[in-house]
Amino acid sequence: MMNEPVPLSPTPAPSLGAGFRFSTYGAPGSIVPEYWAGVGQTMAGKFAGAHPETIWIVGNLYNEGVYLNFPCKPADLLIACAYADMNEAALSLFDEQGFQVWLQVEPGNADVEELIGIVLQHYRHHPSVVGFGVDVEWYRSTTGPEGQPVTDAEAQRWVDAVRAVDPAYRLFLKHWEADWMPPMYREGLVFVDDSQQFESLDALVEEFTGWGERFAPAPVAFQYGYPADRKWWGELADPAGEIGQAVLARTPNTQALFWVDFTVKEVFPME
């Protein structure tokens, strides 16, 4: 039983990452690697010293489990795999352009540790890959984005599985409810908040500030730009930059900022 947060290993603070969340359903259509690379570079350019970074979703919720959009041979019957690899071209371009890439899944009831091994072993040859992400909204949840809170023991097992592939890899956990995160375990984790439906920029900043304080000094990251918030961010001259700067001013342990794919082409139009 853990009574206090597991201390973080002393490591240098990474540079800020800025970019986008990608999914095949959030931005339907053929994947154009050059477009996504341009979005990442443009987003990173809005913040001094930032590098381009992306949450690249490779596993969507599928029935009771998950569908991985590349070929694989799983043991878990709840893991389905594609016949062709949908990610290789984009990841190769991200390698060339200095991106950092998180490979995320929506696991449903599938075995998370097996997913970690399948995904990271398949793509470990890409230097842009820095870790694995679990969307906790879809962990042990298949009919709605609620999810099951992650225990300290689960978080530690998943971090161990990630590091078994590469000791430098890290794990992110994502939800809008802080209580769905492991209560004490912090080592090797990044905590991503994907809250939406805010009344204003001030309301978003207030919420994200609380998230950062809850997990400090552990690194946190944020997704924003949802259609539900367009009513106010649509009035900003530079919504991606202005929201990000407002968050950074209040949350010093912010490690990454991601504009969501649902509205990405409105803010970063294709030429």
- 144: nearest Cα among 106, 181, 116, 172: 106
pLDDT at 15: 87
142 three-state secondary structure: coil
163 contacts 201 by C-beta, under 8 angstroms: no
pLDDT at 4: 54
| Residue-wise pLDDT tens digits, 22-73 | 999 998 888 899 999 999 999 999 999 999 999 999 999 999 999 999 999 9
101 contacts 92 by C-beta, under 8 angstroms: no
Q: Does pLDDT of 12 surpass 70? A: no
Percentage of the chain beyond pLDDT 90 is 90
Rounded-to-integer distance, Cα 80 and Cα 199, Å: 39
Lowest mean pLDDT among 25-34, 196-205, 226-235: 25-34
207 three-state secondary structure: helix
C-alpha triplet 111, 118, 41: angle, nearest 5°: 115
Secondary structure letter of residue 18 according to DSSP: E
Q: Can you give the pTM of this predicted structure?
A: 0.93
Q: Does pLDDT of 6 surpass 70? A: no
60-65: long-range contacts, CB 8 A cutoff, minimum separation 24? 60/23, 60/24, 60/25, 60/106, 61/106, 61/107, 61/108, 61/138, 61/142, 62/108, 63/108, 63/142, 64/108, 64/109, 64/142, 65/107, 65/108, 65/109, 65/110
Rounded-to-integer distance, Cα 265 and Cα 160, Å: 37
Cβ neighbours for 7, distance < 8 A, ≥ 6 positions apart: 186, 187
Rounded-to-integer distance, Cα 31 and Cα 134, Å: 22
pLDDT at 192: 98
Query: pLDDT band at residue 144, thresholds of 50, 70 and 90?
Result: confident
DSSP string across 72-127: ---SSTTEEE-SS-SSHHHHHHHHHTT-EEEEEE--BTS-HHHHHHHHHHHHTT-T
Percentage of the chain beyond pLDDT 70 is 95
- 37: nearest Cα among 105, 127, 128: 128
Q: What is the mean pLDDT of the chain?
A: 94
2 contacts 185 by C-beta, under 8 angstroms: yes
Query: pLDDT band at residue 142, thresholds of 50, 70 and 90?
Result: confident
Query: pLDDT band at residue 3, thresholds of 50, 70 and 90?
Result: low
* Residues in the chain, total: 271
pLDDT at 271: 73
- 88: nearest Cα among 126, 116, 133: 126
Q: Hey, what domains does the chain have and what are their CATH numbers?
A: 17-267 (3.20.20.80)
| Residue-wise pLDDT tens digits, 238-260 | 999 999 999 999 999 999 999 99
| Residue-wise pLDDT tens digits, 64-106 | 999 999 999 999 999 999 999 999 999 999 999 999 999 999 9
